[in-house]
Amino acid sequence: MDFGNPMFLWALPAVLLPVILHLFFKRRKIRVHFSTLLFFVKKERYFAYRRKFYELLLLALRTLIILLLVLALSHIFFKRFNFTTGGSTEAVIILDDSMSMQCNLSAGGTMFDLAKRKAEEMLNSLSGDDGASLVLLSGRQGINLTRDKAEVLKQVRQAQITAATGSMSAATQTAIDQLRKAPGLNREIYILSDFQKNNKPSRAISTASLENCRIFCMPFNGSSENLSVEGVELDSTPKIVNRTVNIPYKIVNHGRSAKDVKVELEIDGKTVQTRQLTVKEQNSASDRFVFVPMRSGRIIGCVKIIDENIPLDNKAFFTFNASGCINVLLVKETRDSEPDPFYFLRFAIDPVKNNPVLGIRTETANLNSLTGELLKNFHILWLAQGEKLPDDKALLIRRYLDNGGVLITLPSGNSSQETYASLSKVSNYKIYNVYRAVAPFNQSGLRFNKPLSELNDLLQLDLIKWRKIQQIHYPAGNAVAVNGESAMILEQPAGKGKWLALSFDLRRDFSNWPLLKSFPVAMSALINYAAGNSEKSLSSVCGENIELYGEKISFSTTYGRSGELKGKDGKCVFTENWLPGVILFSNAEYEAAVVRPDTSESATGIADPGEIKSFFDSPVALLDIGADITSQVTKLRNGADLSGTLLFLMLILLAAEFVIGGNPGMLWERIKKSISGRNKS
C-alpha cells in the first residue's frame, strides 16, 4: 500500500463521526418488569432485531463511506512488491530450454520460440542502467549479470532447445546467487517455463535470503498431445552378422486421445522396417523389430515415429557392434610334447576349417607368441596352462581384461594352485586366484546356473562322470556351473572384462564329457555367454555428463557435431550432451554412447496457477503471455491506483445509504411540508 496524498490521512478520525453520532443518539433500552409475556408472540422480536440490524447497517455504511472517501482522496496505491523508483533493476531471466518447451502452440510455433520472444520483450523494457542475465533451466551455460543487454539478447536468440530436463530449484538458486552480488536496488527474477507438474520441487523454493526480490512467472501452455518412443534396450548377447537382433521398443501416448502411429526402424539413416500401432490415450504399446545385420562393424539405428509435438522424443537411438563371428584365441603351453588341450573343443565349436558355421572362429597360438596386438582381434582368450603363468604374460592378459576382454582358463597337465597365481599379483585391480589343488572327484553330472540353466533340461548332463577336478574356491564369485557344493565353472569380474575358471580340462583326463553329445552344445553356449558383454558402448540421458578415460578423445555425433575432448588427470568429460543420438568416441574405453531424451519431459501435464505459486515460498506474480509484458511489469512495479475504484464504491454505498436510510423520502416530505406551509401563510 502506498499513498499519493498522505496528508488526507489526517482526516481518518472522521471515520469515528458516525460512530459517535450513533452512540449519542442511540435509543436507550427501557427495562420493564411485566406481569406476563404470554401475550407477546416470539415473532414480535423480529421488529426489535430488524431495527437494530437496520441501525447497525446504516452505521457501517456511513463509516465505510467516510473511510472510502478519505482513502480515495489520499490517492491510495496497491503494490504487491516493493519497488524503489529511480533505483536500477537487476533482472535474471530463467529460460526453460527443457524438451517439453518444444510443445507446439495453437497459434503456431513452439513454446520455446514464444518464450524467447517474451524474454526479448522483457529485456527491451529494461532501462540503460539496469542489468540482466540469462539462466537456462537445463543447466546449460547462460550469461551472468551484465549491463551489456545486447549480449544477453544475443544469448537469448542463440538459445537452443535440449532433450534434457531442468531443475527449477537449481536455476532459481543460480539466479539468487547472481542477484545477491548485484548492486541494483530492485531485484527481479523472470521465469519463462511451462511449469510441468512433474518438475514441481519437493518443497517450495525459498527466496527469503534475498531481500527486495520479486518473482515474475510466465507460464506457457501448448498442445497436450504427444507421443514418444522409449525402451529401446538391446539384450547383451553378441551381435553376429546374419543372426537376428531383437530391437524392442515402447510407444507412449501422453495425450488425451488414442493415436494411430507409424513406427519405423532406421538403420544407418535408412528406413528398413515399418509397423502400424494404435496407442490408447495415457497408455503405451510395446513391440519389437527383428533385424538381421548384413555387415560387420558398428551399426547405428533408431526407432522413430512421426509426431509433430515435441519431435525430440520421436527417436530412440541404439548402436551395436556386429561381428562376423566370435573370435576365440586358444592358447596352450609351448611344450609340444603335451597333448593338445583344445582337441575336442575345436571339433565342438569350430568343426569346419575357415568356415565358422556356428558363428565361432578359433585360432590356436602358443603362450610365447601371445602379444597385445594379437589379443585385440579376439573376443575370448582361452588359456590351458599347466605350469606357472609367467608374469609378463600375466600383465599382458590383465591389460586385455582391463579393456573388456574375456579370459577362460582350464587346468592342464601338472596344474597347481600357483598356475594362475601371477594374474592376481598384478595390482591394477583386485583379482583372485581361485584355483586350489587337483584332487580326485568321483562324482557324476553337472548343473548350470542362470542364465545357462536352460541347458540342464536340454542336455543329458547326468551322463558326465568326473574323475578328478582342480578345486575352485572363491565364495564371492558367480558359479556358472556346479556339481553339488563344488563350483565347476566360476566367473569373476576382472577390469571391464571377466574371467571364467573351469575346474576341469577338455580332454578325458578329468571326465568323459568331451566324448558326450552335450559337450559341443554346452561349449557353444558357454562361449556365447562369455562374449555377451563385449559391446563397448554406454547409455546416457540428455543433460548428464559422460566421463571417459583418456587424454585426447575424438568424438562425432549423429546430429553432426564432432570435436576433441581434452583430458585432465587421464579423464575426459563430455558435457555438451543436450540432444538425443549416438556419440562415437575414438581413443576411449567406450566406442560409442547412446544418448536418450529425458522421458519425464515427454509428459505434457502443466501446473495450474495455484500450483505455480506453490513452487515458491514468497509472493509470485503471474504474467499473461498473451498480453504486453512491459505494461504488465510496469503496472506491478508501480502498483494499481485504487482511488477511482474506491470513489465508485463510495457512490454505491452512498446510494445504498439513501435507499436503506429512507432519507430521500423523509427529505421530500419535509420539503413538501415547508412548501405547503408557506402557501397557507
Residues binding other proteins (CB under 8 A): 27-42, 44-45, 47-49, 51
132 φ, ψ to 5°?
-150, 155
Length of the chain: 681
Element (H or E) spanning 572, and its range? strand 571-574
- The answer to whether the CB of 93 falls within 8 A of the CB of 156 is yes
User: Which residues sit opposite 366 in a β-bridge?
Assistant: 332
Sheet strands (E) in 372-496: 380-385, 406-411, 435-440, 447-448, 468-472, 478-483, 486-494
- Report the alpha-carbon distance of residue 169 to residue 200 in Å, rounded: 9
Task: Count the neighbouring beta carbons within 10 Å of the beta carbon of residue 561.
Answer: 13
Q: What single letter denotes the amino acid at residue 649? A: L
| Residue appearing with cell numbers 576382454 | 405
Q: What single letter denotes the amino acid at residue 50? A: R
- The answer to whether the CB of 519 falls within 8 A of the CB of 344 is yes
HEC assignment per residue over 48-101: HHHHHHHHHHHHHHHHHHHHHHHHHHCCEEECCCCCCCCCCEEEEEEECCCHHH
In the bound complex, what is the minimum distance in angstroms from residue 47's beta carbon to other proteins? 4
- Report the alpha-carbon distance of residue 271 to residue 253 in Å, rounded: 22
CA 198 to chain centre: 10
Residues whose CB is less than 8 angstroms from the CB of residue 18 and which lie 6 or more positions away in sequence, other chains included: 59, 62, 63, 66
* Among 358, 399, 359, 400, residue whose Cα is nearest residue 381: 400
In the bound complex, what is the minimum distance in angstroms from residue 22's beta carbon to other proteins? 14
In the bound complex, what is the minimum distance in angstroms from residue 26's beta carbon to other proteins? 10
